[in-house]
Amino acid sequence: MKILVLNGPNLQLLGRREPDVYGRVTLAEIRRQLDRRARALKVSLDFLQSNVEGELVTAVGESAGRYDGVVFNPAAYTHTSVALHDAIKASGVPCVEVHLSNVAAREDFRRRSYTAPVCIGQVAGFGADSYLLALDGLVGYLRRARAIGAGGRTS
C-alpha cells in the first residue's frame, strides 16, 4: 500500500511559525514520525510540501493509479481552493484532510473547508498527532475496502 502525504503553504515553517497555534514540531519531525508509523503499518509513504497551489493540484491529479490514498494538509488552501476540491474529487483516490490546529475553533474564515466535502475524513486539532491519526484512519479505511472488494467481511 502506498500513501502520498501532501502539505500545503507555509508548512515548511512549522516549529517556528506561531508555535502557540501550530506547536514546535517541524515538518521534518512529522515526516520522521509518519515514516515510523508507516513501517509499523507496513505501508510506504511519499511526501510533498509546496506553497504553490498548482503543484498541489497536479500532485492530487496524478495520484490516481500511483497511490492508494492521500493524507493532505492543504493549509490555507483549505479555505480557498475550488481547484483542490475538484482535483480530489476527480482523482477518485481516498483522501483524509488533516490540520494541526482545531480550525473550527479559530477565525470564521477558517471554518469553511472546500476540500473536506470530497475527503473520506478530516482530522484536526491534535497537533502533529493529527497526521498519525489521519494515516491510521486512512490505512484502516483502505484495508477494510480491500477486504470487502475481496469478498471479506469487516464486522
Is 136 domain-assigned?
yes
Cα separation of 100 and 126, whole Å?
6
CATH number, residue 12: 3.40.50.9100
Is 135 domain-assigned?
yes
> From first to last of its 155 residues, what are the pLDDT tens digits of the chain?
999 999 999 899 888 876 676 668 899 999 999 999 999 999 999 999 999 999 999 999 999 999 999 999 999 999 889 999 999 999 999 999 999 987 775 667 666 789 999 999 999 999 999 999 999 999 999 999 999 987 765 44
Among this protein's residues, is 22 annotated catalytic?
Answer: yes
Among this protein's residues, is 114 annotated catalytic?
Answer: no
Length of the chain in terms of residues written: 155
Query: What pLDDT score does 106 carry?
Result: 66
Count how many domains the chain has: 1
- Which member of 22, 67, 77, 114 is catalytic? 22
Is 140 domain-assigned?
yes
Cα separation of 59 and 128, whole Å?
22
Query: What pLDDT score does 147 carry?
Result: 92
Q: Which domain holds residue 114?
A: 2-149
Is 115 domain-assigned?
yes
- This prediction has a pTM of 0.89
Is 118 domain-assigned?
yes
- Which member of 67, 77, 85, 99 is catalytic? 99
Is 154 domain-assigned?
no
Is 155 domain-assigned?
no
